[in-house]
A = this chain, B = another copy of it.
Amino acid sequence: MDIFEAIKGRRAIKHYDPNHKMSAHEERQLLESAMLSPTAFNIQNWRFVIVRDMEIRKQIRAVAWDQTQVTDASMLVVLCGNLDAWKQDPQRYWRNAPQPVQEFLVPAIKQYYEGKPQVQRDEAMRSCGMAGQTIMLAAKAMGYDTCPMDGFDYDAVGKILKLREGMVISFMIAIGKKMQDSWPRPGQLAYDEVVLENGF
């Protein structure tokens, strides 16, 4: 599918066919696409949790305003940020680069993140945002719709998923076969309010 068609056609869809199954191949294509999204210093600071177990989906739905897409979508992916990616053997993120590039970049990673929890967290949210948009656009091209979600109790979902120390949840995406359209875009801002030139 053409990219502009996917960008224009992507809408947050709430109602999915609960009987539709995505193939293992489709799942993998989607998440391998997400893994090609950019991250600063190539730290790949995302982890994607596919929630397959319907009991776990039900538990999540119970702390997500009972939104039906949590259980009805073919796939539910929780995008998590790894706050410690920068210090987990960062050499490996550049192992195939020329030696001088490695020698310059790898120490810069530590310098950028060490002792800066807000910088680590911002990076987690930003990286997951980019990867999430890749998932949503790729899914659209594959004939699916998506719903990005942050309307849930983060602490409760963290407990349900046994979130590891050093990981944060960024958001979730439900993916599946649409049963019902969304309403038209409900109130878009004017271009000139959003796009500025040279500063504020």
> What chain B residues lie within 8 Å of A53 (beta carbons)?
198
CA distance A170 to B3 in the complex (A): 24
CA distance A7 to B186 in the complex (A): 29
> What chain B residues lie within 8 Å of A196 (beta carbons)?
47-50
Shortest C-beta distance, A185 to chain B (Å), equals: 7
From the candidates B28, B98, B187, name the one contacting A191 in the complex (CB within 8 A): B28
Asked whether A197 and B49 contact (CB < 8 A) given A3-B2, A7-B138, A123-B150, the answer is yes
| Contact digits for A27-41, partner B, Cβ 8 Å, 1 yes 0 no | 010011101111010
> What chain B residues lie within 8 Å of A47 (beta carbons)?
194-196
- Could you tell me if A49 and B198 are in contact, using CB atoms closer than 8 angstroms? yes
CA distance A132 to B49 in the complex (A): 23
A15 at the interface (CB under 8 A from B): no
From the candidates B95, B161, B194, B197, name the one contacting A187 in the complex (CB within 8 A): B95
- Could you tell me if A2 and B4 are in contact, using CB atoms closer than 8 angstroms? no
Asked whether A161 and B94 contact (CB < 8 A) given A35-B189, A35-B194, A38-B136, the answer is no
Q: Which residues of A contact B (CB under 8 A)?
A: 1-4, 6-8, 10, 12, 28, 31-33, 35-38, 40, 42, 44, 46-53, 56, 92-98, 101, 112, 121-123, 125-134, 136-138, 140-141, 148, 150-151, 160-164, 167, 170-171, 183-189, 191, 194-200
Show 30 A/B contacts (Cβ-Cβ < 8 Å), sorted by A: A1-B2, A3-B137, A7-B33, A12-B38, A38-B148, A42-B185, A44-B188, A47-B195, A49-B196, A51-B197, A51-B198, A52-B197, A93-B186, A95-B186, A95-B187, A96-B184, A96-B186, A101-B186, A121-B122, A125-B125, A125-B126, A125-B129, A128-B129, A129-B132, A129-B133, A130-B133, A133-B134, A161-B199, A161-B200, A162-B199
